[in-house]
Structure 1
Amino acid sequence: MTTGLLHTLAQLGWLNAALYALSRLLDKASGGRCALHCYHFVAQYVGDAPLAPERGLDIEISMPAAADPVPQDYPRPSAVVRARYAQGALSLAAWRNGRLAGFLWLIMDAYLEDEVRARYRLASSRASWDFDVWVRPEERLGWVFRRLWEAARRHLRQQGVRWTCSRISAFNAPSLRAHGRIGTVRLGAALFVRCGGWQWMVASLAPHFHLSRGPASCPQLMFDTSALAATAFKE
């Protein structure tokens, strides 16, 4: 085995590493027309205790408005950002010395995925959806991630939210580790294969299987956190 393959196996485990290799092969063989995405869905309890007390105080957190200009080095297309605001999402951004250090997105009720065709729906009004947590690579060993989550925790508590749900790529080892450190409960998993205008989904949640032949066809996955507080955490 090559060093790179051994490193991928160590980070992802054999199943996710095999799926990652298959996704790379599919992308290369199809010239980018086909793609494979594998997601884990998790929930994190929104507690009272601060996540980063008195740490990373040189990191400023802001909540950009939809009308604010997108930073030049923002790692997402402007059209994607506009679409997120249009469906009711909000963003928290972390800044260090005037430079964007990271961001995350939050939305209530439902989230229309922008990487695959899927809609995630929340059954409880005391739950939210968080997505696209990004931290600048050179900041990933610091306090940016926890400062962002601390700001999100305060905002969500003010809205009466007690659980926030996430989808994490099974191929993103740093994100899996980061979420693991702050404590999560697994809700399920899904595999999406897209080829041209067609998309296949296999998921551990209903409807379990779905075939989409175009943008008008979109599976909906429901996430219910109403029973989690009694089994995982205490208020």
Structure 2
Amino acid sequence: MTTHFLQTLAELGVRNTAWYALARCLRFGGISVYRYQFVAQPVAAGAMRASPGKLAMRPVTSLAELPADYPRPREVVAARFRQGGCSIAAWKGDELAGILWYQFGAYQEDEVRVRYCLPSPRACWDYDVFIHPRMRLGTAFCRLWDEANRRLHERGIEWTCSRISAFNPASLRAHARIGAIAMGSATFFRLGRWQLMLASRPPYCHLSGTATSWPQLVFDTVPLEKGARQCKAS
């Protein structure tokens, strides 16, 4: 028990470890806790970081293209397509090695009731990067990000924003390696139809009890974009 706690503390840090412990305690009372870190990473225009290997990159444009073992509910994926979600998928033959989703403008979260907004046309959301368990030691993650950077750069996108579970140290480390910049956090408590959000950015606190009541978090990337342009010019 002590070893597991120390490992969790080392991976998540003091604050997120405390939230993780609270989430485990509240689960016995039927309360689900979701804590997210929001980050932005620059879209690189440079060369590929991973060799092409045997992976082919092509998007998924319909539910029928996803294999039966893709671990996301079909209704969730259908909702992504309805709100304009795009994808980049890595394929090894006919097998899905990994997939990365992205969206422009605004994105409604899959797990909780919240809407993320990006006013800048030079920014987008990326979310739910899935790598097949058998291929997590390969190049699929880097290949997906390389392809995402290429496509987004061609479209004039300078920053891509992500929400990461604060209880997922592997994802936090992966985003840190690609230069992610912190943009705040939000914690959601859910019990039946009720949801409470506590966030580090406006509206800071939101309580809802209906499926149509969604808080909205707006992320302004313009200061980041100005900083990027200044760095390029210097």
Shorter-chain TM range is over 0.9
Matched, 1:40 2:16: no
Question: Which TM-score applies when normalising by structure 2?
Answer: 0.93
| 2: CA distance, partners of 1:50 / 1:220 | 36
**Percent identity over the alignment?**
49
Alignment-derived partner of residue 4 in structure 1: 4
How much has 1:62 moved relative to structure 2? 1.4
Task: Give the alignment partner of residue 149 of structure 1, picking from 99, 121, 145.
Answer: 145
**SS of equivalent residue, structure 1 residue 84:** helix
**What runs of 5+ residues in structure 1 fail to find an aligned partner?**
none
Q: CA RMSD in A?
A: 1.6
**What runs of 5+ residues in structure 2 fail to find an aligned partner?**
none
Matched, 1:168 2:164: yes
How much has 1:59 moved relative to structure 2? 1.7
The superposition leaves residues 45-96 of structure 1 with CA deviations (integer Å, 9 ceiling, x where unpaired) of 112113425x242122110112533211101011111000000001111122
Task: Give the alignment partner of residue 129 of structure 1, picking from 111, 125, 129.
Answer: 125
After the TM superposition, list the runs of 4 or more consecutive aligned residues in structure 1 that deviate by more than 3 angstroms: 232-235
2:5 partner letter: L
How much has 1:232 moved relative to structure 2? 5.1
1:44 partner letter: Q
| Residues 177 and 51 (structure 1), Cα distance of their counterparts in 2 relative to 1, 3 Å cut | farther
| Residues 154 and 68 (structure 1), Cα distance of their counterparts in 2 relative to 1, 3 Å cut | farther
Contact 2:63–2:78 at 8 Å: present in 1 too?
Answer: no
Moved more, 34-43 or 134-143: 134-143
How much has 1:142 moved relative to structure 2? 2.3
Question: Which TM-score applies when normalising by structure 1?
Answer: 0.92
**SS of equivalent residue, structure 1 residue 206:** coil
Give the number of equivalent residue pairs. Answer: 231
Task: Give the alignment partner of residue 49 of structure 2, picking from 40, 45, 52.
Answer: 52
| 2: CA distance, partners of 1:56 / 1:38 | 35
| 2: CA distance, partners of 1:28 / 1:15 | 21
Task: Give the alignment partner of residue 58 of structure 2, picking from 59, 62, 66.
Answer: 62
